[in-house]
Amino acid sequence: MREIKEGRGSPHGGVFLDIAWIKEKIADAAAHIQRKLPSMYHQFKQLADIDITQEPMEVGPTTHYAMGGIRVDADTQMSNVPGLFAAGECAAGINGANRLGGNSLSDIIVFGKRAGEFAAKYVKEHGAGQVNNDQIDEAVRRSLEPFERGATKGGGAEGPYQVQAELQEMMQDLVGIVRTEDEMQRALDGLGKLWERTRKVAVYGHREYNPGWHTAIDLHNLMTVSEAITRSAIERKESRGAHFREDYENKDAAFGKVNTVVSKAADGSMQVRREPIPVMPEHLKQVIEEMK
Ligand SMILES: Cc1cc2nc3c(=O)[nH]c(=O)nc-3n(C[C@H](O)[C@H](O)[C@H](O)COP(=O)(O)OP(=O)(O)OC[C@H]3O[C@@H](n4cnc5c(N)ncnc54)[C@H](O)[C@@H]3O)c2cc1C
């Protein structure tokens, strides 16, 4: 990331990663690489016609996984909304700031099962609950707004794709892998402007299959998640796991004891606060001791 930011990036905005050099060290280097990295070897060979056992590959930092997420109860996976459960990458789960490779798949299997079981138990005990038709009508009205704007503004209104692309580029540039206060504050300003445009995007055409309409709806979620990431990353004045701050390069023990919680205030604004990490229950501590 630093190499790219300082203008020494590769032609497509990445860097060259060379693992072929290992042939200087071991005899059967090509076979060794194919054995150690079979899927990487095949992907580069088939998709880019590059033999990584012989030549450098162009790679770039990108978003891989969301390590924050919906707050859930550790046992049941129920969110703060009674009867609403979350599991997998959308949930703030077991990973903290540093998901270990491969952990996501075991996470979704273990906690997906738990969420399903507790959701079934919940519905048996509480019934299906009351549907609030006013809230549904409001959600339908909001979902259809982009069509209304499209109809009233003719062809002149902005569609969702341009806003989405600018959001993507800005988050990559300013709230990416290497973070600073100054850049993230600029991102917050940028998000403010993008929110205004998000609320005005218009779509046209069909209502049965219309990717533009889906993007217009998704955009609100992308904006919300981007703002939550930015605000909580500004608040966490340290580096930990995948959250790397160039202006606070070390871990801060005080932050090791808290979670950053983002919630919606009564006026609709986003609020960030720190809360102590819950203490692990004794029976779980015992399980861990036994596993050791
Ligand atoms: C390039 C890459 C490589 C990875 N490699 C690994 C690996 O080697 N090992 C590992 O453990 N993990 C890996 N991961 C992470 C792992 O793949 C994901 O964390 C995991 O698949 C997430 O599963 P999920 O079911 O929680 O979410 P998702 O798979 O994202 O499922 C969410 C689903 O919800 C749907 N959806 C979204 N919005 C709506 C809506 N409004 N209405 C209805 N449906 C909706 C989406 O279409 C999607 O089908 C990798 C991730 C990436 C990006």
pLDDT per residue as tens digits for the range 190-206 = 999 999 999 999 999 88
Interval 41-45 mean pLDDT: 95
Residue 254 lies in a domain: yes
Query: Atom 12 (ligand 1): residue with closest C-alpha?
Result: 104
Q: Ligand 1 pocket test: which of 63, 70, 89, 214 has the largest number of ligand atoms within 8 Å of its C-beta?
A: 89
Contact 238, 255 (CB under 8 A): yes
Domain that holds residue 109: 70-128
Interval 250-277 mean pLDDT: 95
Question: Do 259 and 148 belong together in one domain?
Answer: yes
Beta strand residue intervals within the chain, DSSP E: 15-17, 57-59, 70-71, 91-92, 178-179, 244-245, 258-264, 270-276
User: Which atom of ligand 1 lies nearest, measured to the CA of 106?
Assistant: 11
Contact 184, 234 (CB under 8 A): yes
Residue 31 lies in a domain: yes
Question: Do 87 and 167 belong together in one domain?
Answer: no
Residue 1 lies in a domain: no
Q: How far is the CA of 90 from the centre of ligand 1 (A)?
A: 9
Question: Do 53 and 77 belong together in one domain?
Answer: no
Q: How confident is the model at residue 153 (pLDDT cuts 50, 70, 90)?
A: low
Question: Do 104 and 162 belong together in one domain?
Answer: no
Number of separate domains in the chain: 3
Question: Do 151 and 258 belong together in one domain?
Answer: yes
Q: Ligand 1 pocket test: which of 105, 114, 213 has the largest number of ligand atoms within 8 Å of its C-beta?
A: 105
Residue 7 lies in a domain: no
DSSP 129-193: ----HHHHHHHHHHHHHHHHHHHHHGGGS--HHHHHHHHHHHHHHHSSSEE-HHHHHHHHHHHHH
Q: How far is the CA of 67 from the centre of ligand 1 (A)?
A: 12
Interval 266-271 mean pLDDT: 94
d(CA 261, CA 272) in angstroms, rounded, equals: 6
Question: Do 80 and 179 belong together in one domain?
Answer: no
Three-state SS at 43: helix
Q: Are strands 91-92 and 70-71 parallel, antiparallel or unpaired?
A: parallel
Residue 5 lies in a domain: no
Contact 77, 111 (CB under 8 A): yes
Question: Do 182 and 226 belong together in one domain?
Answer: yes
Residue 139 lies in a domain: no
Q: What are the backbone angles phi and psi of residue 91, rounded to the nearest 5°?
A: -95, 145
Q: How far is the CA of 89 from the centre of ligand 1 (A)?
A: 6
Interval 87-95 mean pLDDT: 90
Question: Do 87 and 34 belong together in one domain?
Answer: no
Question: Do 105 and 214 belong together in one domain?
Answer: no
Q: How far is the CA of 109 from the centre of ligand 1 (A)?
A: 12
Q: How far is the CA of 66 from the centre of ligand 1 (A)?
A: 10
Q: How far is the CA of 74 from the centre of ligand 1 (A)?
A: 20
**What pLDDT is recorded for position 281?**
86
- Percent of the chain scored above 70 by pLDDT? 99
User: Which atom of ligand 1 lies nearest, measured to the CA of 87?
Assistant: 26
Question: Do 176 and 110 belong together in one domain?
Answer: no
Tokens of 173: 């540039």
d(CA 251, CA 73) in angstroms, rounded, equals: 27
Maximum separation of any 2 CA atoms in the chain, in Å: 71
Q: How confident is the model at residue 101 (pLDDT cuts 50, 70, 90)?
A: confident
Question: Do 188 and 249 belong together in one domain?
Answer: yes
Mean pLDDT for all residues in the chain: 93
pLDDT per residue as tens digits for the range 247-258 = 999 999 999 999
Residue 154 scores a pLDDT above 70: no
Residue 91 lies in a domain: yes
Query: Atom 27 (ligand 1): residue with closest C-alpha?
Result: 89
Residues with CB under 6 A from ligand 1: 64-65, 88-90, 102-105, 108
Q: How far is the CA of 76 from the centre of ligand 1 (A)?
A: 21
Rg over CA atoms, the chain? 23
Interval 34-38 mean pLDDT: 95
The half-sphere exposure of 73 on its side-chain side, counting CA atoms within 13 A, is 15
Tokens of 203: 């779509």
**What pLDDT is recorded for position 155?**
65
Q: What are the backbone angles phi and psi of residue 4, rounded to the nearest 5°?
A: -65, -45
User: Which atom of ligand 1 lies nearest, measured to the CA of 64?
Assistant: 53
The amino acid present at 65, given as its one-letter code, is: Y
Question: Do 177 and 217 belong together in one domain?
Answer: yes
Residue 103 lies in a domain: yes
Contact 210, 203 (CB under 8 A): yes
What CATH number does the domain containing 259 carry?
Answer: 1.20.58.100
Tokens of 83: 């009867």
